Every structure is written in C-alpha cells, then in structure tokens.
Amino acid sequence: MKQKLSFFLIICLCVLLSFCSDKKEQTSDVAPYQVNNQVISLTENSNLKGRIKVTEVEVEDFTFDLVTAGLVKAIPNHYAEIASPFSGRIIKSFIKLGQKVSVNQPLFEVSSLDYFEAQKDYFDSKQEYKQTSLNLKRQADLLANGVGVRQEYEEAETENSMAKAAFDNATAAIKIYNVQPTSLVLGQPLIVRSPIEGEVLENNIVLGQYINDDADPVIKIAALNKIWIVGKVKEKDIQHLTKLNKVQIELSAYPGEPIEGTIYHVNEIVDEETRSIDVLIEVNNNDRKLKPGMYVNVRFIDQPEKVILVPSRAVLQGEDDSFVFVEVAPNEYIRKNVVIGGVSGNQTVILSGLEKGDKIVSEGGIYLPQL
C-alpha cells in the first residue's frame, strides 16, 4: 500500500513540474513591448516596467566648464635666441645666467674676420662716395663757368650715384648688427647686444670658443612677467569659446591656487590629427610660477545660463545622432533625436530636441528598441 502511495505522489510531482515548466515557457514567450507607429508600448506583464524610470525635464542654471591640457610658452615678441651673426671667436662676455638685461645691452664680443671685411667695405665705400662727390662738385663748377664738358659732368654724376648706392648698402649692413657706423673703428670686435628686455634663461658662452655663423644660439633671453598658454580645444567644443569670459590655469605644483588668464587669440585652423584648435591665453606671471615648457590644466568657465539638463545615462547614441526616449503616455515611449551641447559630470546639456516638462526615460532606455 505504501509503495502504491509513493508511486502516486511521484507521478503527481512530475505532472506539476511539467505544468510549471509549460507555464514558464508561455510567460517567457510574451513580448515585453509592442511597437505601433513608432510608439513603444510596454505589455501588461512586461518585465521592463521595473527597470525603466522616468524623469521630467527642467530648465536649470548651468555654468559651462571645459577642462583641457595646456602648454606654457614665452610670448614670441618677448623671447629671443641669440647667436653670433659672424663666424669668429668669443673674446668677452658681459652677462651671467639669470641676469636681467635691457634693450641694446652688450652680451658678448666676437673677433671676426667676416666682420672686419664688413667694416672695410663700409670705410672703402665711404671714401669712394666722398671722392665721387668732390669730383661731381668740381665738374658742376666747371660747367657753370663755361669751361666744363657736359659728358664729363654726366659721367661724374653716374659714378657718384653708384658710389652712394654702395655706401648706403654698406651702412645698412653695419646697422643690421646694431652698430652705429659713425662710431665704428676699423678692426674693433663685434659687440652683440640684446634685442629685447628680459632675463637670461640660458647662457652657453665659452670664452675663446670659435663659433660659426650657422651655429646654435648661445644665449636665450625672455621677458616672463607675461606668458602665453596654448590650450587645446576639441572641434566639438569650439562653439562655446565665443561665450567664455574667464579662464583658470591649474598647476600640479600649486594645487588649490588657480591663476586667472584671458583669451588672447583663437586659432582659425583645426589640427587634422587631433581635431582641435589652439587657444592662446595670456597670463600675468610676475611671481614666475609658470615656466616655459610646463604642462598645465586650462579650465574655461562661462557665465551661468538657463539650459535643459538631463541625466547623461538618458542620452543614447545612434549611428549618426543622439536620442532619448520620451514618455507620451504611461508605459508608452517614442524615440526623439536631440542635439548635445556638452557634458558636465553626470549631466548632459541639450541644445534642441526637448522642451521643459517633457518626460524622458532616465534609466532603462537601453532595453527599449532603437527604432
């Protein structure tokens, strides 16, 4: 009797398990949503109802904040790399590393055969011009007194014009090296002078060293009280630069001590490799915290404005556009394309595509079909 009862119970259990399995299969076969005219409707027993959350769109104050890498560099007009203009031997130095110099201040002296030849050309052309001027004056006087010859006067005039041109060229060649021809002495060494006011950043002068005219610069001078920072801004963020009015420079060497700067120039050419543009930022650097070649973080800050902000997880990416799901009725949604204006933290700025009061899927949108 007990064996029959046990056998009966086993059969009942098998039937019950089979029934539950069939019911489970039937339940799993039920679609979680239906699509009609682009409207996605969740079915009555859809398992997506617990996964989808809806948020109402609000207009909020938003301050655009763009952070990018920047490189510190000296302002070109405030920076000079100085080499010897002639091949020669350095015979004297007037400066030392870190020294402040003014415009035209002597830096070093070079004894140069080439410079001697330039001096000689100057004095020779000066003498030639003087002689042709005297000859022209004499021919003019003879012609005026009726004893001169017109042809000889014209030849003297031509010679004088040619001598003057040669003298002017020789004078200009001397002035290029910041030398006053009137105080020039034949055979004196060339004194190389500073073209700018600034500080000696690099001094590679070696007394007695022979250097060629194509050698690397031996002195680098820069005025670093003001400096440029080159910030890289991605192509997609260029639109914000016209509205930005404040820039902060953040240095890892001085955490918590940002430096303010102003946008000096926005480059008109996009780098094809990085898809970004260079933004030049001018910064006061009286305390010398910024050093040329240093990497910094550049933070562009905009004035607060009213914008539509949505959770970033609500924005999905299609093949060519961005979109969100908008609730049109309880458990009914449609896809709507949006234009993104930027991302800040876990929120995304929507420039167009949504209106205040729209209800969007803030979580679970990935489970809905991307029509």
Q: Is the pLDDT of residue 303 over 80?
A: no
* Closest by CA position to 32, among listed 22, 41, 23: 41
pLDDT for res 243 = 66
Task: State the CATH class of domain 33-61+305-367.
Answer: mainly beta
pLDDT for res 27 = 44
pLDDT for res 150 = 87
* Token reading at 88: 């020669």
* Closest by CA position to 371, among listed 344, 333, 341, 339: 333
Domain ranges of the chain: 33-61+305-367, 65-77+223-302, 113-183
Is residue 364 within 8 Å of residue 370, measured between CB atoms?
A: no
So what's the architecture of 65-77+223-302 in CATH?
Beta Barrel (2.40)
* 160-185: pLDDT as tens digits: 999 999 999 999 988 888 788 888 88
Is residue 237 within 8 Å of residue 66, measured between CB atoms?
A: yes
Mean pLDDT computed over every residue of the chain: 86
Q: Is the pLDDT of residue 101 over 60?
A: yes
Question: What torsion do the CA atoms of 314, 315, 318, 322 make, to the nearest 10 degrees?
Answer: 150
3-state SS track over 280-318: EEEEECCCCCCCCCCEEEEEEEECCEEEEEEEHHHCEEC
Q: What is the model's pTM?
A: 0.59
pLDDT for res 82 = 93
Percent of the chain with pLDDT over 70: 90
Topology given in CATH for the domain delimited by 113-183:
Helix Hairpins (1.10.287)
* 40-98: pLDDT as tens digits: 998 888 888 888 899 999 888 877 777 889 999 999 999 999 998 889 999 999 999 99
pLDDT for res 13 = 54
